[in-house]
Amino acid sequence: MSKKKKKEKLVIHRLVVNDKVIAQELGIDLEKTRETFRDGRPCSRFTEHWVDAIYGVDIYKNACVKSSDGIIECAGDVKFLVSVKCLTRGSRIKSTSKYRGSLKFQNSAFIGAGRTCTDSDVKNSIRNCDRVCICDIREFPVLSFIMLDTKLIEDWFDQGFVKKSGINGINFYKLLSEKFKIQEYFYKPVDGKIQITDETLAPPIEEITYNSQDSLF
């Protein structure tokens, strides 16, 4: 009998921000603030800076060029390119208040109404970087950051788990729980810097949702 393969460790970094202060400073209703930051279009640029703070990387100098799509690179002697992608809410699950989640790995030039995308476009977008950092923004003010090797994403694409239409949040977390032993680090901003507040070992997960994180402040 063959031994069951030991799962690799994967750390999910969870950042909890004080959305009440953000809403107050912006002069926007709290719920509208939450909905805005759960949208990948306005939130994506913030995620690049959060990835910088959590993982200790620098914003890539050519991040504004069309092909880079929010690429960052590690500081230090060993450099590799990282693409930042947002896991957004997607469509609502029938008869519930939950959302399936939507995560796409092709460059933004291939996403949107009237734009076309081929399998080659997806694979080339994945191969353009060494790592991809997925930021789950669906439960803002709780944000989850997951750094993965793009070879794994390409394998998932070849196996049909990831498609041109992407992958939903439920299936994404299911794949993670099957392959990895998941550990969580919690962070929050303190005096203008992001600091770790808690480290726990998480059980296998299919999907993570949060109702309230007010108690963390």
Alpha helices in 65-136 (DSSP H): 119-127
Q: Is the pLDDT of residue 205 over 60?
A: no
Range list of β-strands (E), the chain: 8-16, 57-59, 71-74, 81-87, 131-136, 142-149, 180-190, 193-201
**pLDDT at position 36:** 93
Report the pLDDT averaged over residues 17-28: 93
132: in domain: yes
**Three-class DSSP category at 106:** coil
**pLDDT at position 216:** 29
Q: Is the pLDDT of residue 55 over 70?
A: yes
Backbone angles phi and psi of 99, in degrees to 5: -115, 150
pLDDT band for position 62 (50/70/90)? very low
Per the structure, the count of domains in the chain is: 1
Phi-psi label, residue 49: left if phi above 0, alpha if psi -120 to 50, beta otherwise: alpha
Determine the structural domain holding residue 189 and report its residue range. Answer: 8-216
Q: Which long-range contacts (CB under 8 A, 24 or more apart) does 110-115 make?
A: none
36: in domain: yes
pLDDT in tens, 126-182: 888 888 899 999 999 999 999 999 999 999 999 999 988 889 988 999 999 999 988
21: in domain: yes
Contacts of 19 (CB under 8 A, 6+ apart): 30, 33, 34, 37, 140, 141
**pLDDT at position 193:** 82
pLDDT in tens, 74-99: 545 556 788 889 999 876 667 666 67
69: in domain: yes
> How many Å is the maximal CA-CA distance in the chain?
63
Backbone angles phi and psi of 96, in degrees to 5: -135, 170
Cβ distance 5 to 178 under 8 Å?
no
164: in domain: yes
Cβ distance 184 to 199 under 8 Å?
yes
3: in domain: no
2: in domain: no
